[in-house]
Amino acid sequence: MKWDLDSLFKGGSQSEELAAFLQETDTLFQTWLDRPETDVIISELTHAVDMLFGRINEMFSFVSCLIAQDVNDNQALLLEEKLQVQRVKFESLRLRLAARLRELEDDAFATLLTEEALKPFAFSLSELRQHAKDEMDPAREHLAASLAKDGYHAWQSVYNEAVGRMEIPFEEDGETKILSAGQLSNRLDSPNTAVRERASLAYQKAWSKEAPLFAQTLNRLAGFRLSLYEARGWDDVLKEPHALNRMQEKTLQTMWETITKNKSRFYRYMDEKAKLLGVEKLSFRDVHAPLPVENKEQSDIPYDDACDLIIRHFRKFSPKMADFAEMALRDGWIEAENRAGKRPGGFCTTFLLSGESRIFMTYDGSMANVATLAHELGHAYHSWCLKNKPVQLAKEYPMSIAEMASTFAEIIVADALLAETEDEATKKMLVENHLSRSLSFFMNIHARFLFEMRFYEERKNGMVSQERLNEMMVAAQKEAYGDQLSEYDPYFWASKLHFHITMRPFYNFPYTFGYLFSLGVYAQALKSGASFEDQYIALLEDSGSMTMEDLAMKHLGVDLTTPQFWQEALDVVLADVDKFLAL
């Protein structure tokens, strides 16, 4: 249940291999940055940017793993600071390339892309050129990137360190245990109502205590972001998220509109779940709680059993995907141990140069954790399918399509489990687990999106108080959940890491996009049978070099800017609502 990081850089945060790699990278940066621009042709600069992008990724991925596994690893935090310096240097080199591309007339740029050495970079260079046209001049962009190290990204570091140091007392089994934020989060999903209620009280107390600091981190990073947007002449706070996710505004708007029109059809499921949990109305914490079982020990799934289960069901869909999962589990790519000192949540990070990934989570035996493990393995398989691409930049895909691959892996396991069980109670539990996760995408994520849209609008006029943040969070949750809950979570803006991530603004809607897109892909898989394995790999291979709309049209033959695709995907979930109510 513990990952192997030594195979990447031996020695953890004291790694001499990492130190040498960092020094080599710094020397390479200086060599390129010191060269007169007139001495460098665009193809040379492009290959340098691509090579250094891979090196930066390798180090950041490693250090993120070190910090996640031990939030008290101060040396890892110092390494992260050193890497931020390297990130600024990379941004300087990227801006130099962007400026050269922006200077070219359209005809000259089109001719440039016909060069043999640059053909694999066509999409990346076109995207970079367009971004350059939307940004400030290179000198001011360089200054902004330099200031961001200590004036923007630092706020996320403050948040991460503060959360990592949280120690939360919790009464359990007749004793007071000291839990990390991640461990307490698992208690919030307990099938035992009393445990959930105690965990919720501990959660509210812990996060309310830290809320003044986190109101500062959120306001300050948002203020920096808005100031940067203003300097670039951007009025729309979604301009950057749209670009990062390679998605049109109309696509996102159509998706949310279609979801909103269908939300009321989930209310009967929510009412039925409340009855099964023995409450009059679901609270915010009840929405994602598993259904109660008579024997908790029987409901727990040992980690090794979860691994075997996932591999078995992957194999029914894709032998290649199953072989990959088997390798990842065997070779120490996964950190799943349930212990204090780890950061909350889960993630998958890719090492572009090594062609490997690492998965982080805290496994506690729940069905939700099995889904998380399948989810993160889906991410890792996505990166694995891109590992032989000759261009490092083409291995970087947007979050929107990343969440498709991960959720697709979840669906494979969930549907296979449902198909093989004959017990009605188990069937109901599995269908409910799927619906619970669907509500996360349709309502919880929507609440985050609504909150951020309104928060940024208010932040334009100055700092937003902690009390106002609480009010806005509850208002967004009430709207997103159709005012169907008995109580809400005013401190969700503080406890949810995604609001405080600086590299990915609006770290919310891509989850919902990816989920619904995955349903479309899964429907195609069911129609195609065994032949879809290679079709799926082809889709993943294109994911780093196409817009979402073009990718969907090429591989699924659908138009994402119209409601039809989204409604058909929603109909799959609504069928599960009917199935749940009938069981």
> How do residues 3-15 score in pLDDT, each as one tens digit?
999 999 999 999 9
Structure token digits, residue 155 = 């706020």
- Mean pLDDT to the nearest integer, 466-491: 97
Q: What is the pLDDT of residue 296?
A: 47
The angle that helices 16-34 and 74-103 make with each other, rounded to 10 degrees, is: 20
- Mean pLDDT to the nearest integer, 152-166: 90
Higher model confidence: residue 113 or residue 299?
113
- The owner of tokens 């954790």 is 369
What is the rounded CA–CA span in Å between residue 149 and residue 279?
A: 48
The answer to whether residue 300 scores a pLDDT higher than 90 is no
Q: Taking the mean position of all CA atoms in its chain, how far away is CA 484?
A: 27
The answer to whether residue 297 scores a pLDDT higher than 60 is no
What is the rounded CA–CA span in Å between residue 33 and residue 90?
A: 9
Q: What is the pLDDT of residues 88-130, one digit of tens each?
A: 999 999 999 999 999 999 999 999 999 999 999 999 999 999 9
The answer to whether residue 552 scores a pLDDT higher than 50 is yes
Three-state helix/strand/coil letters over 449-484: HHHHHHHHHHHCCCCCCHHHHHHHHHHHHHHHCCCC
- The owner of tokens 């998605």 is 247
CA distances from 230 to 9, 225, 237 (A): 41, 9, 10
Q: What is the pLDDT of residue 298?
A: 46
Q: Taking the mean position of all CA atoms in its chain, how far away is CA 172?
A: 32
What is the rounded CA–CA span in Å between residue 192 and residue 198?
A: 10
Mean pLDDT of the chain: 93
Q: Report yes or no: 222 and 459 within 8 Å, Cβ to Cβ.
A: yes
Q: What is the pLDDT of residues 48-86, one digit of tens each?
A: 999 999 999 999 999 999 999 998 899 999 999 999 999
Instruction: Output the pTM of the full model.
Output: 0.89
The answer to whether residue 190 scores a pLDDT higher than 60 is yes
Residue in 308, 291, 155 with CA at minimum distance from that of residue 220: 155
Share of the chain above pLDDT 90, in %: 79
Structure token digits, residue 465 = 């108080």
Share of the chain above pLDDT 70, in %: 99
Q: Hey, what CATH topology would domain 12-151 get?
A: Butyryl-CoA Dehydrogenase, subunit A; domain 3 (1.20.140)
The answer to whether residue 384 scores a pLDDT higher than 90 is yes
Cα dihedral value 216, 217, 221, 223, nearest 10: -10
Concatenating the DSSP letter of every residue in 70-133 gives -TT-HHHHHHHHHHHHHHHHHHHHHHHHHHHHHHS-HHHHHHHTTSTTTGGGHHHHHHHHHHHH
The answer to whether residue 294 scores a pLDDT higher than 70 is no
Within 339-471, strands assigned E span: 347-351, 356-360
The answer to whether residue 368 scores a pLDDT higher than 90 is no
Please report, as a single letter, which amino acid is at residue 351. F
Q: What is the pLDDT of residue 343?
A: 82
What is the location of CATH 1.20.140.70 in the chain? 12-151
Structure token digits, residue 248 = 């049109």
Q: How many other CB atoms are there within 10 angstroms of residue 480's CB atom?
A: 25
The answer to whether residue 159 scores a pLDDT higher than 50 is yes
Q: What is the pLDDT of residue 420?
A: 83
Confidence of residue 293 (pLDDT cuts 50, 70, 90): low
Q: Report yes or no: 87 and 28 within 8 Å, Cβ to Cβ.
A: no
